[in-house]
Amino acid sequence: MPGMYEDSEMIGAFLDEVEEQLQLLEQGILDLEQNGETPSVIQKIFRAAHTLKGSSAAIGYDKMTSLTHEMENVLDKIRNNSLSINIAIINILFKCLDCLRLLKEGFGENKNDTNIENSELVGELKLILTNQFEDQTLKLPKGDSSEKDNEELAFILNDDGKSIMESALKGGHNCLVCKVKLSEDSFMKATRACLILSDLNELGDVITSEPNVFLLPDDSNVTKINYLLITKMNPEALESKARESFMDVEEVKVASYKIKEVDKKVNKATETSIEISSSDKNKKASRTVRVDIERLEEMMNLVGEMVIEQTRIAQVGNVLHSRYSSDSTIDDLLGISNHVSRVVSELQETVMKARMLPVQQLFNRFPRMIRDLSQSLNKQIDLNLEGGDTEMDRTIIEEITDPLIHIIRNSVDHGIEEPELREKRGKALKGTLKIRAFHQENHVIISIADDGSGLNLEKIKDSAIRKKVITPEKAAALSRSENINLIFETGLSTTENISDVSGRGVGMDIVRSHIDKLNGIIDVETEEGKGTAFTIKLPLTLAILTGLLVKIHQEIYALPMSNIVEIVRIPASEISSVKKQSVVVIRDRIHPLIWLHDYFKLPRKKSTKNIFIVVIGVAEKRFGIVVDKLIGNQEIVVKPLGSYIGKVEGVSGATILGDGSVACILDVVGLSRMISSKIVEENIILNIAEHNNLDVEKIKNSKTFGGN
C-alpha cells in the first residue's frame, strides 16, 4: 500500500474522483433539504457515498472508507423507507461532507496519516441507525473534553471560511486561535462565551468558535472555548489585551494557527483537464486527459511568441509588397502569411479554451454557503444563479473566488434583512440574492445583487470619520459615489451586531486588492431600503491581453483594454489645474488627469487644440491619461521586465511589436494608487467645483473620481 502513495498519477486520479463525488453529494443533500425525499435524489447521494467508499478503500484511505461506509448505511435505510429524513440528519450529512473535504485535503498532505478525526461523526451515524440519534444529538460537546495542543486543534471550516482566512493572511493579517477557559463559578456561561466573541471582534474578526457559541443552550456548562480569528495583532499583544478585557475567565492562551495546504504538486496535476466528447452521443461518459497546468502555461507562452513573430512577418510582407508590388513571389508570401495568421489564431484560441473553465464550478459553492449562512442568521434567502456556462481563464476564477465570497457574505449578513423586518417594510419574507455571469466583448461581467436594506451612506461616512479614514472636512466634500466607495477602505465597518459570518472591515479591502491584481473594475450601485448591486468587469485571460497602443512624444505605450472605460477628445481649454493637479469634467464627472509626459520626463506637446484622453478604470477608481496619438488595438503578449532592469514605477511589463520594437505596458494599478493618494491628500474635488464655478452640490452628488 505505501507504494500506492508514491504514485502521483494514482493519487491525482483519486483526488479528482473524490472532488467530483463531493460535488454530487453536496448538490444531492441540498436537493434533499429543499425538495424533500425523492427516490432519484436519495439514489444519487447513495451512489456518491458508495463510490467514495470504493475509491478510498482501493487506495487504502481507512478514515474516508469508514465514514462513507456509515453514510452509505444511513442512506440505505432512507432509501428503503426504514428511516425518515429530518433536519438533524441533513445537518449530520453536511457535517460528514465537510469532514470528507478535510480528509481529502489531509490525504494530499499526509496520506493515511492525517490527524483529522472522524470518530465522532461515525458514532453519530451509528446512533441514527439504532434510533438513538435524537436523544444524543441534543447534547452539545463539552468544551473540556479535549486537551489537544494547538497543533492538533482543527476547526471544521467551509471553503468560504478557509478562503477568507487565506486572503486575510495574504493581506498581512494574522490567523490566531484564542483558547479561553471560563471560571467554574461563572453564571450563564453561554452568554459569557458570546460576550467574549463580541470582545474579540473588537480586536479582529472571529471566523468561528469550537464549540459554536451561538448554538450553546442557556444552561450550558461549557468551560473551554476556542476562537479562530483574523487580526492585525500578534499573539502576545492579543493575549495581553484579552486578559485585560475578559471577565469571569480562569485562563487565556493565544497562538498562531496554520491552515494546512493540499500537496501543491498533486494539485497542479489535477487542476485542469481537457474534455473530449465521446463519439456516442447516447453515452453520458466523457474521456478526459489530465494535463499539468505548467504544460498549458508553457504552451501559452509559445503561442504568445508565435503571435509576435506572425505579426512581424505580416508587417515585413506589407513593406516588401509596397516596394515590389509587381513581384508575384511577394504575393505568394502575403498569401502564406495570411494562412499562418489564421492557423496561429486558431491555435491560440484552442490553447486558451484549454485554460478556460465554466464559472459553474465556482457557482457550485454558493448554494451550500447560502444554506449555511441562512441557518446561522435565521434568514430566508432565495439564491438565483445565471450564466454558469460562461467561461473564464482558470487563473482568474481562482483569484476572483475570494472577492465573490466576501461580497456574498456581506450581502447576506448586512444586506438582506430578517424575515420580521422585511415583513414590516412590505417586502417578501424571503430575500433574493442574484448572481450573474456573462460575456461582454473580451470581458466577463459578474454581478451580485440583493434586495436588502441597501447601504446607509451616512453611517459609512460617520464610521470613516470615527476610524480616522477621512477627516470631517473631506467627508463633507465627498460625492455620492465616493461615499459608497469608502466601503473598500481598510478597517471600515458599520456593523453593530455580533456575528461570526462577515468581517469587521477586512473583506472589502481584500475585494479591491484582488480586482486590482486582475486589472478589473468594480462598480457599486445602492438604494437605501431596496438593495445593493456589485458589478465586476474582468478580462477573459491574463496570458494574452488586448491592448490599446498609444504614442506619447516619440514613444509607444500599451494600455490594457480591460481597464479602458472610454476615450474622449476635448479642447485643451477644458482642462483645469487645481493645486498643480490637472483635472477635467467629462459627462458631469470629475476626473484627475495624468500627463505621462511629465511622469516619464518626456517633452510635453504644446497645443490649444483637441487632446486625447483615455479614461481608465481600476477597481472602483476612475482617472484620465493624456496621450498624443491613438495607434490602435493589438493583441499583446506580456513580458516581464526581468531582474536586470528591476521594477519600474508606472510600467508592469513590455511587449514586442510587429516591427521588432519594444513597447512598455503601463501599470494602471500603480498609476491609480499614485493619483488616488494625491486626491485624498489635497482634497481636490471640492476645489475643482469652486475653481470652475460649478454647482458644488451637483458635483458632490455626481459620479466623480472613485465613482462608477
Element (H, E) at 458: helix 457-466
Query: How does DSSP assign 547-612, residue by residue?
Result: EEEEEETTEEEEEEGGGEEEEEEEEGGG-EEETTEEEEEETTEEEEEEEHHHHTT-PPPP-SSEEE
Q: Which of 158, 174, 201, 410 is catalytic?
A: 410
For the segment 454-504, what is each residue's pLDDT rounded down to a tens digit? 999 998 888 888 888 888 888 888 888 888 888 888 766 666 554 555 544
**Contact between residue 392 and residue 538 where contact means Cβ atoms under 8 Å apart:** yes
The pLDDT assigned to 643 comes to: 66
Q: Is 544 helix (H, G, I), strand (E, B) or coil?
A: strand
Identity of residue 193: A
For the segment 223-255, what is each residue's pLDDT rounded down to a tens digit? 889 999 888 888 898 998 888 888 888 899 999
The confidence band for 652, taking pLDDT boundaries of 50, 70 and 90, is confident
Stretch 615-625: mean pLDDT: 86
Q: How far apart are CA 390 and CA 146, in angstroms?
A: 47
Residue 160 has pLDDT above 90, yes or no: no
Q: What's the mean pLDDT when you consider all of the chain? A: 78
The confidence band for 355, taking pLDDT boundaries of 50, 70 and 90, is confident
| Candidate from 62-66, 103-107, 444-448, 543-547 with smallest mean pLDDT | 543-547
The model's pTM is 0.63
Question: How open is the CA angle 527-533-539, to the nearest 5 degrees?
Answer: 150
The pLDDT assigned to 418 comes to: 92
**Contact between residue 621 and residue 672 where contact means Cβ atoms under 8 Å apart:** yes
**Quick one: what percent of the chain has pLDDT higher than 90?**
16
**Residue 212 is among the residues annotated as catalytic for this protein:** no
Stretch 168-178: mean pLDDT: 83
Which range, 111-120, 260-269, 412-421, 634-643, is most confident? 412-421
Kindly give, in sequence order, each residue whose CB lies less than 8 Å from that of residue 468, ignoring residues fewer than 6 positions away.
none
How many angstroms separate the most distant Cα atoms in the chain? 102
Q: Is the dihedral of CA 553, 558, 560, 561 positive or negative?
A: positive
| Candidate from 73-87, 250-264, 476-490, 633-647 with smallest mean pLDDT | 250-264
**Contact between residue 385 and residue 368 where contact means Cβ atoms under 8 Å apart:** no
Of 645, 693, 652, 696, nearest to 672 (Cα)?
A: 652
Of 172, 201, 177, nearest to 493 (Cα)?
A: 201
The pLDDT assigned to 126 comes to: 87
The single-letter DSSP state of residue 415 is: I
C-alpha cell at 696: 458644488
**Contact between residue 509 and residue 171 where contact means Cβ atoms under 8 Å apart:** yes
Stretch 26-48: mean pLDDT: 85
Residue 695 has pLDDT above 70, yes or no: no
The pLDDT assigned to 114 comes to: 67
Q: Which of 50, 69, 597, 691 is catalytic?
A: 50
Residue 281 has pLDDT above 60, yes or no: no
Question: How open is the CA angle 108-110-114, to the nearest 5 degrees?
Answer: 110
Residue 213 has pLDDT above 50, yes or no: yes
Q: Is 623 helix (H, G, I), strand (E, B) or coil?
A: strand
How many angstroms separate the first and last alpha carbons of the chain?
A: 59
The single-letter DSSP state of residue 157 is: -
**Residue 378 is among the residues annotated as catalytic for this protein:** no
**Residue 708 is among the residues annotated as catalytic for this protein:** no
Distance of CA 496 to the CA centre of its chain: 25
The confidence band for 15, taking pLDDT boundaries of 50, 70 and 90, is confident
Kindly give, in sequence order, each residue whose CB lies less than 8 Å from that of residue 589, ignoring residues fewer than 6 positions away.
622, 702, 703, 704, 705, 707
Q: How far apart are CA 196 and CA 241, in angstroms?
A: 12
**Contact between residue 351 and residue 300 where contact means Cβ atoms under 8 Å apart:** yes
For 335-351, b/e burial (b = at least 16 CB within 10 A) is eebeeeeeebeeebeeb
| CB count in 10 Å sphere of residue 561 | 19
